[in-house]
């Protein structure tokens, strides 16, 4: 039975990747950091099928010990401080986790077993102020946030350890991918959840920032399959995963409200607080290499994605909001 270790298993992607790897017959070890309250919501349904172990990307020794004890065949490094606005308010922490955390894991692999295959969760945020449209594996980087800068470091240190020490290390440059398990602070989930609350009479407005930014949005379960495919190849390499389509935030909002029969202009309030010090205006990926070499492609369209997210939040909120109010997140 192949064994995979996932950092960030409590996050959106970690939980879907765990589901996927269990289906493939893997033994799954999920690394979680200690917190004062347990946050296993996304992995509750598979808790008895996986091993949950304590470790932190900020702590080198914890990573070495975990690899020594569990001896995984594959490590998926999905842990990160992943919210762009927080990277502006906590840039040094973001660098420690999202950038140096990658080196800590790569060094742990180098020390314990150089044959462990490694996946690094790189991001389209590295392209930032884009140098070409669409963006592919060869497009130069120009990050626009401390998060993007940290991801550029994580990408290059992955390439460097592959070239320097012969590690089977892959960097997946993933464009935005969403789902009903997305954190409430990210735009698509904030909109889906906000629309559902308005539809159910639990709120009467939705406060947002820049509606003109364009993103290439896909469905998260498609993307975790791509991560796994990268580690099954004969040679390690870097791949873009994207849909190849771009849409504005405004389009996302319009479709979400229209799906429940409402006009977004009656409810959306623009709040400058949600504007960023520097914005990434346009992202659209070219997934040709992944299509040709991995046989990967996305399966859920933009419109389907928006609608399934709104439906999931409507379903979740019906009846339970009075008993368990949603957390008041205002970032």
- Name the residues that contact ligand NAP, by CB under 6 A: 7-8, 10-14, 33, 35, 39, 56-58, 78-82, 97, 121, 123, 174, 176-177, 183
CB of 51: closest distance to ligand F7E in angstroms?
26
Part of the chain binding ligand F7E (CB under 6 A), chosen from 34-42, 68-76, 260-268, 272-280 = 272-280
Q: Considering the rule CB under 6 A, would residue 15 count as an interface residue with ligand F7E? A: no
- Cβ(105)–Cβ(75) under 8 Å? yes
**Residue 22 CB-density burial (10 A; 0-12 exposed, 13-18 middle, 19+ buried):** middle
The one among 123, 158, 243, 246 contacting ligand F7E by CB under 6 A = 123
Q: How far apart are CA 18 and CA 87, in angstroms?
A: 27
Q: How far apart are CA 98 and CA 30, in angstroms?
A: 18
Catalytic residue, candidates 74, 125, 178, 254: 125
Task: Answer yes or no whether residue 185 interacts with ligand F7E by CB under 6 A.
Answer: yes
How buried is 60 (Cβ within 10 angstroms: 0-12 exposed, 13-18 middle, 19+ buried)? middle
Rounded CA-CA distance 103/150 in Å is 12
CA dist 173 and 285 (Å) reads 9
Judged by CB under 6 A, the chain residues 192 through 251 that form the site for ligand F7E are 208-210, 213, 215, 249
Q: State which of residues 84, 106, 109, 149 lies at the interface with ligand F7E (CB under 6 A).
A: 84
Our answer to whether residue 125 is catalytic in this structure is: yes
Q: Using CB atoms, what's the residue nearest to ligand NAP? A: 11
Q: For residue 184, what are the CA distances in angstroms to 181, 196, 248, 297, 331? A: 9, 13, 19, 26, 10
158 near 230, Cβ under 8 Å?
Answer: no
Site string for ligand F7E, 142-181 (x = CB under 6 A): ---------------------------------xx-----
Catalytic residues: 123, 125, 147
Binding site for ligand F7E (CB under 6 A): 82, 84, 123-125, 175-176, 185-188, 190, 208-210, 213, 215, 249, 274, 276, 279
């Amino acid at each position: 039975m192949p064994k995979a270790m996932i950092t960030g298993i409590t996050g959106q992607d970690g939980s879907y990747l765990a589901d996927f790897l269990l289906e493939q017959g893997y033994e799954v070890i999920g690394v979680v950091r200690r917190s004062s309250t347990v946050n296993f919501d996304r992995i509750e349904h598979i808790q008895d099928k996986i091993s949950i172990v304590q470790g932190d990307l900020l702590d080198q020794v914890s990573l070495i010990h975990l690899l020594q004890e569990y001896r995984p065949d594959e490590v998926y490094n999905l842990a990160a401080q992943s919210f762009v606005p927080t990277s502006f308010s906590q840039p040094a922490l973001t660098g420690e986790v999202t950038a140096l955390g990658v080196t800590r894991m790569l060094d742990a692999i180098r020390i314990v077993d150089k044959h462990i295959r490694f996946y690094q969760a790189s991001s389209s945020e590295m392209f930032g102020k884009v140098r070409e449209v669409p963006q592919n594996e060869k497009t130069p980087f120009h990050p626009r946030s401390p998060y993007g800068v940290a991801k550029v470091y994580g990408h290059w240190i992955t390439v460097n350890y592959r070239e320097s020490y012969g590690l089977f290390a892959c960097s997946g440059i993933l464009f935005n991918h969403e789902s009903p398990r997305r954190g409430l602070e990210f735009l698509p989930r904030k909109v889906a959840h906000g629309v559902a609350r308005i539809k159910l009479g639990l709120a009467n407005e939705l406060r947002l920032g820049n509606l003109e930014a364009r993103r290439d949005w896909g469905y998260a379960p498609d993307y975790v399959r791509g991560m796994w495919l990268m580690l099954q190849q004969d040679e390690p390499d870097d791949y873009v995963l994207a849909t190849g389509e771009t849409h504005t935030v405004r389009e996302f909002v319009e479709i979400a409200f229209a799906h429940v029969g409402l006009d977004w202009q009656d409810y959306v309030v623009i709040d400058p607080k949600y504007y960023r010090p520097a914005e990434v205006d346009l992202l659209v990926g070219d997934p040709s290499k992944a299509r040709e070499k991995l046989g990967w492609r996305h399966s859920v369209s933009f419109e389907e994605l928006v609608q399934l997210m709104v439906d999931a939040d409507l379903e979740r909120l019906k009846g339970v909001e009075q008993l368990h109010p949603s957390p008041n997140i205002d970032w």
